[in-house]
Structure formats: structure tokens, C-alpha cells
Amino acid sequence: MGKNRFYLYYRASNVRVLGPGLRYVIWTQGCKHNCKNCIAPDSHPLDKNGYWISVDEIYQEIEKDFFERNIRGITISGGEPFLQVAPLKNLIKKIKEKIKEKINLDIICFTGFSYEELLKKGDKDINYILNNIDILIDGKYIEEKNENNYLRGSSNQNIIFLSDRYKVYENDMKNLKNRNVEYTWKNEKEMFIIGIPHKNMEEK
């Protein structure tokens, strides 16, 4: 896929439901986990439904959104972000190196892999990512364990604090049973749901 461009499913700014504060969010295209009743099945194919965009363009949008919209952080979801390790690492490196002097955005990343699976890969780029993000939300979605957990589709998934930034809120974030979603138009015909729907909403 290349080191300097992503294959994305969608991206959005001014998001309030996928982490603390106002956020810039990207959803990568492509996933192999095949979780039953995933909220975003259109993001699974590896070679369709997505679009190419450079790391530089995403970074420029993030920097602009900080100064113009006062975003607090970045959330990376999917799809499966760790199928695009090289551009993910390069984006995070760019954020850390180029923005750090001016702003201090937090980074949250979702994955269907477990934290242990990522570490066992022994990949230096994966290790760089894990060492430079604030929160990893890991694990496959299991429909039977959907308990309306904050930031998690199912209770088997973990909120892993990889920095001290939100450590003080660890118990609250892990025990909170609260979800909200936002709606936007992906294109002229397709509405896009941002966030993790409440279990009762999915059952309707």
C-alpha cells in the first residue's frame, strides 16, 4: 500500500463521540477479522470502497483543524488500522515531531488484534506506534458481549493506557456505560454513523 499514503474508508473532523473532546478521526479501509455484525462491513474489503490519500494531506488537515477548530485529539479506527502499519507509523511520527512544539494532541487507536498479538509480531513500526499513542482499544467485536461499554463494542475489548495522559480517568473510562453517535453524509446518498451505537439501537 505504500509508506506515505493511506487507503481510507472515511475521515471526519469535529467528532465528539470517539474519545475525549473534539477530534479528527480516520477510518482505514480493509479488515480481515470478520466480526459478526460489525457496524462497518463496507470497510472490510481490501481493494474496494476506499480512497487513497497521502499522509501529508491528512497531517495538514489535522494541523488546520487544531488552529481553526481547536481539536483535542486524533482517533484512528477502521477497518483495521494495523493492516496499514507504514502510513500509520509515518502519520504518528509526523504528528509527534512536527506538531509537538505547537500543540499536544492525544492519539487513540482501535484494533481487532489483541495488544499481545501486536507485540508478538516483533515489528519495529508497530512498536513505534504503540510507544507513541495514548490509548489502544484492542480485541475483536463479539456481539454477545455488547454491554454498552464506553469506547468499546464488546466487553472483551480493552482500553489500554499507553501513556499517562488519561491515567487519572482510567477507572471512569473502563466502567462507564455510555455511548453516543453522530450522523453525517458520506456522499449524496449514503449516511454515515460515527461512534459506537447503543445496543438497543442496534436491535431496533
Q: Which among 141, 156, 159, 158 is positioned nearest to 197, based on CA atoms?
A: 141
For the record, the C-alpha cell of 76 comes out as 484512528
Can you give the pLDDT at residue 193? 87
Model pLDDT for residues 139-187, shown as the tens digit of each residue = 999 999 999 999 999 999 999 999 999 999 999 899 988 888 888 888 8
Q: Which among 107, 176, 102 is positioned nearest to 135, based on CA atoms?
A: 107
Other residues' Cβ atoms within 10 Å of the Cβ of residue 45: 14
Can you give the pLDDT at residue 118? 98
Domains of the chain, by residue range, sit at 5-182
Can you give the pLDDT at residue 204? 42
Can you give the pLDDT at residue 187? 80
Distance of alpha carbon 204 from alpha carbon 202, whole angstroms: 6
Can you give the pLDDT at residue 203? 46
In CATH, which superfamily holds the domain spanning 5-182?
Aldolase class I (3.20.20.70)
Query: How distant is the alpha carbon of residue 137 from its chain centre?
Result: 8
Can you give the pLDDT at residue 186? 80
For the chain (204 residues), the mean pLDDT of every run of 10, in chain order, is 88 94 97 94 94 96 92 96 97 84 86 98 97 97 94 96 93 88 84 85 50
